[in-house]
């Protein structure tokens, strides 16, 4: 059971103490070429959450490998690198470039950014090509904006993903109080925060049943209770997103709250709570989840 940050919700270099309070740091998504991101304004608070349309702003893989990764390594926190591309070959190339970097513990495939126009190829193809390019553990981050997320999860599993990151943001729109025009320059943006939690729970629940893969559950966690619910739905680990913006002390707080929730539950180890929401927590799923999770320790 790990507590991570959701990609794009923490910069370990500007907030190293926060990164060190996590079990692993997940980078903002890196793309083959540098990206400025979308025009401002690119964030807007809404009731129970926020919208963002950052647009994968990042320095590109060359600069990331040369400048960012060596500095991240100095923090001595396990590093998961999130990668994003616009074609199958781009994901494969990114994974290939990361494969021989010992400081990278795992790779997260961001196949679900809602803030870019180019729609990548099918999840199965991306995962298969990435799998062929690296021996690192691969976590595939899925969008909840799909008719049947379990189907997508099964395709990712068949193509060789080691785990799933659930969920990415889902498109939402906010209008200006006075003008009634969209508050973000791009119009819609990814909804995160407390409003996303029921959507995340549904996705984790469905994908746990469908695949038994280890799942990093995320979406609207603000408390240990929220984390526990995602674990009960099937998450083997959890990631904190929007709450890190408001409360950089959230990892330590939520870790303590979760421990007390587990103690109250009386199930012993936290791993015993994985999948509790299901009628029959599949023993085989839990075993698969644990062994794969251990492979990235």
Catalytic positions, written as ranges = 113
d(CA 137, CA 1): 16
Dihedral of CA 228/273/156/207: which sign? negative
Residue 57 or 277: the one with the smaller Cβ distance to another protein is 57
Q: Binding another protein by CB under 8 A: which of 1, 9, 236, 239?
A: 9
Q: Binding another protein by CB under 8 A: which of 70, 198, 249, 268?
A: 249
Place of tokens 């909804």: 191
Residue 86 touching another protein (CB under 8 A): no
Residue 36 touching another protein (CB under 8 A): yes
CB of 32 to another protein, least distance (A): 17
> Quick one: residue 293, left, alpha or beta (phi over 0 = left, psi -120 to 50 = alpha)?
alpha
Q: Binding another protein by CB under 8 A: which of 126, 194, 204, 262?
A: 194
Q: Residue 203: what are its φ and ψ, rounded to 5°?
A: -65, -45
Contact of 216 with 138, CB cutoff 8 Å: no
Least Cα distance to 234 among 266, 261, 211, 263 occurs for 211
Contact of 51 with 22, CB cutoff 8 Å: no
Segment lying near another protein (by CB under 8 A), choices 47-55, 140-148, 161-169, 272-280: 47-55
Residue 15 touching another protein (CB under 8 A): yes
Segment lying near another protein (by CB under 8 A), choices 13-21, 82-90, 119-127, 154-162: 13-21
Contact of 125 with 90, CB cutoff 8 Å: no
The CB-side HSE value for 113 (13 A sphere, CA atoms) comes to 28
Contact of 170 with 143, CB cutoff 8 Å: yes
Q: Binding another protein by CB under 8 A: which of 10, 133, 191, 227?
A: 10
Least Cα distance to 228 among 203, 194, 263, 193 occurs for 263
What is the per-residue binding string for another protein in 163-192, x denoting contact by CB under 8 A?
A: --------------x---------------
Contact of 220 with 190, CB cutoff 8 Å: no
Segment lying near another protein (by CB under 8 A), choices 53-61, 134-142, 155-163, 199-207: 53-61
Contact of 217 with 237, CB cutoff 8 Å: yes
Residue 193 touching another protein (CB under 8 A): yes
Q: Binding another protein by CB under 8 A: which of 41, 73, 278, 288?
A: 41
d(CA 32, CA 34): 7
Residue 74 touching another protein (CB under 8 A): no
CB of 236 to another protein, least distance (A): 25
Helix 149-158 crosses helix 197-211 at what angle (to 10 degrees)? Answer: 50
Residue 223 touching another protein (CB under 8 A): no
Segment lying near another protein (by CB under 8 A), choices 39-47, 114-122, 200-208, 265-273: 39-47
Site residues (vs another protein, CB under 8 A) = 8-11, 13-15, 18, 28, 36-37, 40-46, 48-50, 52, 54, 57, 59, 177, 193-194, 242, 244-249
């Amino acid at each position: 059971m790990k507590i991570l940050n959701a990609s794009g919700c923490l910069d370990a270099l500007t907030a190293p103490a926060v990164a060190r309070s996590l079990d692993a740091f997940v980078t903002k998504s890196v793309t083959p070429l540098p990206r400025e991101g979308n025009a401002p304004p690119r964030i807007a608070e809404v009731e129970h959450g926020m919208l963002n349309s950052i647009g994968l702003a990042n320095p590109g893989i060359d600069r990331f490998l040369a400048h960012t990764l060596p500095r991240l390594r100095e923090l001595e926190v396990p590093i998961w690198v999130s990668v994003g591309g616009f074609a199958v070959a781009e994901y494969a190339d990114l994974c290939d470039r990361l494969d021989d970097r010992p400081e990278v513990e795992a790779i997260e495939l961001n196949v679900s950014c809602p803030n870019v126009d180019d729609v990548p190829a099918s999840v199965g193809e991306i995962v298969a090509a990435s799998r062929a390019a690296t021996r690192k553990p691969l976590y595939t981050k899925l969008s909840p904006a799909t008719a049947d997320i379990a189907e997508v999860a099964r395709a990712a599993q068949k193509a060789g993903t080691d785990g799933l990151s659930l969920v990415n943001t889902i498109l939402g729109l906010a209008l200006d109080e006075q003008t009634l025009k969209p508050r973000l320059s791009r119009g819609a943006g990814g909804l995160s925060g407390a409003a996303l939690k029921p959507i995340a729970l549904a996705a984790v629940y469905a994908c746990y049943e469908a695949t038994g893969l280890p799942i990093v559950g995320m979406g609207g966690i603000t408390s240990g209770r929220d984390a526990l619910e995602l674990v009960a739905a099937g998450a083997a680990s959890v990631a904190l997103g929007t709450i890190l913006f408001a409360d950089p002390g959230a990892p330590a707080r939520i870790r303590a709250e979760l421990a007390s929730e587990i103690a109250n539950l009386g199930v012993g180890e936290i791993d015993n709570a994985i999948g509790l929401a299901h009628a029959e927590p599949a023993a085989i799923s839990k075993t698969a989840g644990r062994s794969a999770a251990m492979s990235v320790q």
